[in-house]
């Protein structure tokens, strides 16, 4: 078992989606003259550790259920038999532990003790996506939860720990960005419709069928663009976010027109990068505004 396999199991292509909301939340905090680099870095560590943890947890839970037996896409650690299930589960719990420690540091620094409850809920949501007896990922709720936790909560939470107040702009940015990880999960589930159906995994894509799922995927792609245009009326610097279309459009086309697993995987990768691009570009624009550049 090599480091390469563990990196593959961590699904690093999804990590940009953990970085973007931290950038957006920090940019919103900066507009309130409260940007705190140390707290932002701790928030980033929490987000990355949770993302890696949920990826390993998903690998473990789907693997022991046999869901990944005939899957397409990157090789899974548990489903392929490369690593014993208990080792993969341990890796997931270790990742959650790192997230918990970083989160505890945030709580101590900010003295916002109620955030402990938020952290517990985040870890439970990460585990029960495919874990437990009744995983919500098997009931078509994955996209909704991803939108909330990796979009709204991650962005709003990042701003809150730096400002100790809830901010409307942060809520808007988190809601807009949250559609990116939801779109990534949707195209991933569109790719897996056949194997998930056989395995009894009733994802939203399975319930809707490919045509309707691709329509919803398109809405997840273009709603953020529309909101970015509206946001430009108040924060003109967010125009940088439109540069994201250079990656977003090819990713969208690959997802809508793609039929083979390879084409849909290409869409997944491009949309993930587009999510990072949105965070970087809009975040940069907002930071520049406060620096009067």
From the number of C-beta atoms within 10 Å of its C-beta (0-12, 13-18, 19+), residue 5 rates as middle
The SS3 of residue 184 is helix
The pLDDT confidence band at residue 66, using thresholds 50, 70 and 90, is confident
Quick one: tokens of 77? 């650690």
Q: Average pLDDT of the chain?
A: 90
Q: Averaging pLDDT over each range in 97-101, 124-128, 259-263, which range is the top one?
A: 97-101
Sequence spans of domains, the chain: 3-290
Contact 274, 251 (CB under 8 A): yes
Give pLDDT, residue 288. 85
Q: Which residues lie closer than 8 Å to 233 by C-beta, 6 or more apart?
A: none
Q: Which of 78-87, 154-163, 280-289 has the highest mean pLDDT?
A: 154-163
Whether the predicted pLDDT of 9 surpasses 90: no
Q: Are 196 and 210 in contact (CB under 8 A)?
A: no
Higher pLDDT, 66 or 175: 175
Q: How confident is the model at residue 5 (pLDDT cuts 50, 70, 90)?
A: low
Q: Specify the CATH class of 3-290 in words.
A: mainly alpha
Question: Stretch 115-128: mean pLDDT, rounded?
Answer: 95
CA 203, CA 130: separation in Å to the nearest integer?
11
Tens digits of residue pLDDT in 195-220: 888 878 899 999 999 999 999 999 99
- Of the pLDDT bands very low, low, confident and very high (cuts 50, 70, 90), residue 69 is low
Structure tokens at 238: 């967010």
- Cβ-contact 82, 75 below 8 angstroms: yes
Q: How far apart are CA 37 and CA 290, in angstroms?
A: 15
The residue among 64 and 151 whose pLDDT is bigger is 151
Query: Tens digit of pLDDT for each residue in 87-115?
Result: 889 989 999 999 999 999 999 999 999 99
**Could you tell me if 199 and 43 are in contact, meaning their C-beta atoms sit under 8 angstroms apart?**
no
Q: What tokens appear for 78 in the block?
A: 């548990």
pLDDT band at 71 (very low <50, low <70, confident <90, very high): low
Burial of 206 (0-12, 13-18, 19+ CB in 10 A): buried
Q: What is the share, in percent, of the chain residues with pLDDT greater than 90? A: 68
What does the pLDDT average to over 108-130?
94
Continuous H helices in 11-84: 16-31, 37-65
Q: Are 38 and 105 in contact (CB under 8 A)?
A: no
């Amino acid at each position: 078992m090599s480091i390469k396999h563990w990196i593959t199991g961590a699904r690093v292509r999804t990590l940009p989606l953990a970085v973007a909301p931290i950038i957006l939340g920090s940019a919103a905090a900066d507009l309130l003259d409260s940007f705190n680099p140390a707290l932002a870095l701790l928030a980033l560590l929490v987000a990355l550790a949770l993302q890696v943890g949920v990826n390993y947890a998903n690998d473990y839970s789907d693997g022991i259920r046999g869901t990944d037996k005939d899957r397409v896409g990157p090789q899974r650690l548990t489903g392929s038999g490369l690593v014993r299930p208990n080792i993969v589960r341990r890796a997931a719990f270790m990742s959650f532990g790192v997230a918990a420690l970083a989160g505890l540091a945030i709580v101590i620094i900010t003295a916002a003790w109620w955030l402990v409850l938020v952290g517990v809920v985040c870890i439970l949501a990460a585990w029960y996506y495919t874990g437990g007896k009744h995983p919500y990922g098997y009931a078509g709720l994955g996209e909704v939860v991803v939108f909330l936790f990796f979009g709204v909560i991650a962005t709003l939470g990042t701003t809150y720990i730096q400002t100790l107040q809830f901010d409307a702009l942060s809520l808007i940015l988190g809601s807009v960005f949250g559609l990116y990880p939801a779109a990534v999960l949707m195209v991933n589930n569109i790719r897996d419709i056949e194997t998930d159906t056989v395995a009894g995994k009733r994802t939203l894509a399975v319930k809707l069928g490919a045509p309707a799922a691709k329509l919803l995927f398109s809405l997840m792609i273009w709603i953020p663009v529309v909101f970015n245009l509206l946001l430009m009326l108040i924060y003109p610097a967010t125009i940088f976010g439109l540069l994201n279309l250079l990656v977003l459009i090819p990713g969208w086309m690959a997802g809508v027109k793609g039929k083979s697993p390879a084409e849909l995987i290409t869409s997944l990768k491009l949309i993930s990068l587009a999510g990072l691009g949105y965070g970087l570009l809009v975040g940069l624009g907002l930071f520049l505004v406060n620096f009067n550049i």
